[in-house]
Amino acid sequence: MDDSRVQLIDKIREVAKQAEDVDRLLKDSIELIDNFSDGYDWTGYYLMKGDILEVGPYVGEETPHTKIELNQGICGAAASQKQTVIVSDVNADPRFLACSITTKSEIVVPLMDGDICLGEIDIDSNQPNFFREDDRIMLEEIAELIVRSLKDLSS
């Protein structure tokens, strides 16, 4: 993993240590993630509320998809499968729920607490085939940090 990705993880770790509540943790961390790359054009959290994913803090254009059912869209698929989903060409994926006509690729990383999906990090890019293995590795590590912090803040 390159230095810039390691630095982002370190920044998220600091935000997690300093966060006094869940809202601050999510807002500050998603802004850091979004600022990591110009190719991250919509960056946000979806959080599980029962069997529905509800949009949390995000950076980008307003989304019409504030609630997503499990198995619906790429976000619902990632939460149901409990694994990261990378789509290089969203227009070729029948699961894609268009938030923006400019979106070309997407990565969705579940926030897993054991076997329980607490939510996910969702990032859209206006560039096709944008997300790489380094993005997946970095975002999965960030997701683990966020889950640990959510648990700490909830106890």
The yes/no answer on whether domain 3-150 falls in CATH 3.30.450.40 is yes
- φ and ψ at 144, to 5 degrees? -65, -40
Residue bearing tokens 């940090």 = 145
36 vs 44: CA distance, rounded Å? 13
Please give the model's pTM, rounded to 2 decimal places: 0.95
Would you say 63 and 42 are in contact if contact means Cβ atoms under 8 Å apart? yes
What is the H or E stretch that residue 5 is in? helix 3-18
CA distance 110 to 112: 6
Domain regions of the chain by residue span:
3-150
Helix (H, G, I), strand (E, B), or coil: what is residue 134? helix
Determine the pLDDT at residue 90. Answer: 82
Compute φ and ψ for 150, nearest 5 degrees. Answer: -60, -45
Encode pLDDT of 75-120 as tens digits: 999 999 999 999 999 888 767 766 677 899 999 999 999 999 999 9
Within 10 Å of residue 41's Cβ, how many Cβ atoms? 22
Tell me how far apart the 2 most distant CA atoms of the chain are, in Å.
43
30-41 residue pLDDT tens: 999 999 999 999
Tokens of 115: 């076997």
